[in-house]
Structures are given as structure tokens and as C-alpha cells.
Amino acid sequence: MPSRVPPPGLVHRSGTTGSSVIREALALTNRPDVLSFAGGLPASELLDIEGLRTAYDHALTEHPLRALQYSVTDGDPRLRELLADRLTQRGLSVPPDRLVITTGAQQALALLATALLKPGDTVAVEEPTYLAALQCFGYAGARVISVRTDDDGIDIDALAHVVERDRPRLLYLVPDFQNPTGRTLALARREALARLAETKGFWIIEDDPYGELRFHGARLPWVTAQEGAHDRSVLVGSLSKILAPGLRLGWICAPPALRQACVLAKQAADLHSSTVDQAAAAHYLGTHDIDARLDHARALYRDRCAAMLTALPGALPLGSTWSRPDGGMFLWAKLPEGHDTGALLPRAVDHGVAYVPGAPFFAGPPDPTTLRLSFASHGLQDIEEGMRRLGKAFT
Ligand SMILES: Cc1ncc(COP(=O)(O)O)c(C=O)c1O
């Protein structure tokens, strides 16, 4: 009997802890006694179940082959046209052939990492930043360097220093209502960032799943729309927060050569995103007043955010600070020194409330006093009750 030789071991590339803390926290939402403010789920009442059912019916009835056959890698032409029109209306004038439809914004990040990064390359990110982007760059074998941020987003002087010292190939950032902090990058910094990328030569990935969810103040132009950024900034978008995350549809808007590299990477990854989902989304976007629906979503999130902000002083220990988002779904809190939100989470869950500890959002040394709360998924009464429970857990 020949001896058995084990297969080679698995590759452990991700720089972050294997299982996502957010997913573990999300598992708690299944417990009916826990009010979870941990996940990034859009409000269920905003999902247009009937409208999407009709859109799928239409796709399968009117265009069954378009909906069910293999198709082109860069995405449904009608969907790209509608999305390009929307980007153009919102201040970034692009033709449909600048877009690639992806399986969620998350795949966009993975494709961009494939197209732009070799193992050992340096990526600069905001501190803190979106956890699954850290995982994505970790899987690409990148060295991830975090850059200081404040209430106005990434600190440009700190970034300039990192650029000189570490020569990053790319900067990843979420300028509008960032995940996890809810903060927005100030206009002057958008301009300065584009100038820095132009003079120092690095890529910018501008990840914007929340930009349409502004409920206070005027919209700011994308970094990608700034002078000097057009050939080095990539805008990533998503239907997850404006239509439904289950559709798994996002897009990349990139300069031509990078776009082509993403198309090739996508071919290798999954040939194309689901044709039926793309056809249904195109029908939906082409036949519904998305802005009216978004007005409703913005008003809902505005009220929920306000309710959470009102309740926070009673929920968090004296001396805590927190962000005041102008949109999106999250706010970020910092407890006084000495608190550890990771260690406090089980106590919070015992009191029937959950949040995400801040530590996993840091590429560098984590700040254990921080936490993220989503104000999007619960109604006003649950927010009040959840913050009351948090107050008890934290005393
Ligand atoms: C900043 C950011 N980028 C990307 C994503 C992924 O979005 P999608 O559902 O389109 O893959 C999320 C999801 O929460 C996010 O917060």
C-alpha cells in the first residue's frame, strides 16, 4: 500500500484575521432578543420587492435570451448606459464604455487589486477604513499603510508624508459617509488629493457606495472629477445601498487601459456578472423614479441618524466622542481611554444590543476605544431602546 502524501497547504495571504468580525456580529442579529447595530444592512422597508419582481418578470418575459444566456464581460450595455447617464448627471461626464459592471463593489475592489498590485506593493488607506477592502488588499499580498484622518477625512499632509516615505502604488478611500466613520472628505482636500496624485504619480480608488445617501448639506464633487485626476482615479459604485445588496451589482469607472485590465481580470474571475440580475436592474432603473425613492431613503436615514445622535449621550460613557454624519449608514464613536469595545461586546450582547468594535477597521495599530454603529436598519423606537441597552451595558 503506497503511503499517502498530503496535498500542499493553503495559502494564507490575508493580512487580517481570517473570519470577519462583522459577519460574526451579524450572526447575532438572528437572535431575536438582540438589537444589532453592527451590520451594514440597508433598511428592509426600502427594498422594493414588488418593483424588483416586476423587473425580473420583464427581463425573463421580454428578453429571455439576454437574461439567461452567457454575455459580454464588461456588462449589460443598457445597464452601463443608464449608470453612465446617472454619473454624468451627478458631475462625472463618462460614456458607457468607461464602465465595467461587477458583482458588487466588492468584486470591483478585487479586480482593481488584481490589475494594479503585485505582492509587496504598498497601498495607502484611511485610518480606519472599510474592513473588506483591507482583506482584499491583504489577499493581493500588499503592504497596507494607514494614513491619519480627522473629521474632514484623510489628512493631506500626513498622506503627502506617506507618499514620500512609502511610495504607495495606490490610495484607497471612501470620501462620502465613510465606512466605518460616516465622515466626508472636505472639498479642499479633494482638490489637494487630486493634485498630489498628479504630481507624485499614484492611483486613487474612490469607493462610493454611500454617496447617494446624503441627508444634510450639498453634494461634493468626486475626487475622480477633479482636474488632474482623470487618468489616475477610479470610481467604484454599487446598487447595494440604493436598490438591493442581494442583486450583487456594482461598477468600475476607470481610464481605458485600466478598465481593459479589469475586464480581463473579470473574465478570469467569473466571465460576467449575472445576466438576469443585470437585465432586471436595467429595467428597474429605466422605469422607476430612483430619485424619488432615494429622497425617501434619505429622509428615513436622516431621522434614524438624528435619533441615534440624540440618544448617544445617555448611552456612551462620559467623555466619549462621536461623528455626526451628513449621510450614509454609520457613525463612529470613541470611548474614553481605558475602554476596550472588543472586550465590552459580549456584555453588550448580554444586554441585548450589538455594535462592531473598531479594531478590525485599522490597518495599523488599532484603537480599542472605538466602535461603529449603523443607524440604518432599525426604526426609531428600536434605536432608542438599543441605545438604552447600550447605556446599561457600558455602566
Ligand atoms: C465602503 C464599501 N465598499 C464596498 C462595499 C461592498 O459593496 P457591494 O455590496 O456593492 O459589494 C461596502 C459594503 O458595505 C462598503 O461599505
Q: How many structural domains compose the chain?
A: 2
Q: For residue 356, give the CATH number of its domain.
A: 3.90.1150.10
Question: Does one domain contain both 244 and 272?
Answer: yes
Distant-in-sequence, close-in-space partners of 130: CB < 8 Å, separation ≥ 6: 174, 178, 179, 180, 207, 361
Question: Does one domain contain both 32 and 120?
Answer: no
Question: Does one domain contain both 255 and 307?
Answer: no
- What pLDDT was estimated at residue 11? 80
Residue 38 covered by a domain = yes
Give the domain range for residue 130. Answer: 72-287
- pLDDT for 213-254, tens place per residue? 999 999 999 999 999 999 999 999 999 999 999 999 999 999
Question: Does one domain contain both 272 and 225?
Answer: yes
pLDDT of 18 higher than 50: no
- pLDDT for 113-143, tens place per residue? 999 999 999 999 999 999 999 999 999 999 9
Question: Does one domain contain both 213 and 126?
Answer: yes
With a pLDDT cut of 70, the percent of the chain lying above it is: 96
Work out the pLDDT band at 1, boundaries 50, 70, 90. Answer: confident
Which of 22, 179, 208, 243, when mutated, tests ligand 1's pocket best, judged by the most ligand atoms within 8 Å of its CB?
179
Task: Report residue 333: phi and psi, to 5°.
Answer: -125, 155
Rounded Cα–Cα distance for residues 26 and 24 (Å): 5
Per DSSP, 214 falls in state B
Cα separations (Å) of 120 from 139, 153, 220? 11, 26, 34
Question: Does one domain contain both 148 and 254?
Answer: yes
Which of 20, 101, 106, when mutated, tests ligand 1's pocket best, judged by the most ligand atoms within 8 Å of its CB?
106
Averaged pLDDT, 207-218: 98
Question: Does one domain contain both 334 and 364?
Answer: yes
Question: Does one domain contain both 309 and 247?
Answer: no
Q: Which ligand 1 atom sits nearest the alpha carbon of residue 109?
A: 4
Question: Does one domain contain both 223 and 125?
Answer: yes
Question: Does one domain contain both 78 and 132?
Answer: yes
Nearest to 183 by CA among 321, 312, 294: 321
Q: Share the mean pLDDT of the chain.
A: 95
Domain finish residue from 270, 287, 304 = 287
Do the bridges between strand 203-207 and strand 233-238 make them parallel or antiparallel, or are there none, so unpaired?
parallel
Question: Does one domain contain both 40 and 101?
Answer: no
- pLDDT for 300-346, tens place per residue? 999 999 999 999 999 999 999 999 999 999 999 999 999 999 999 99
pLDDT of 25 higher than 90: no
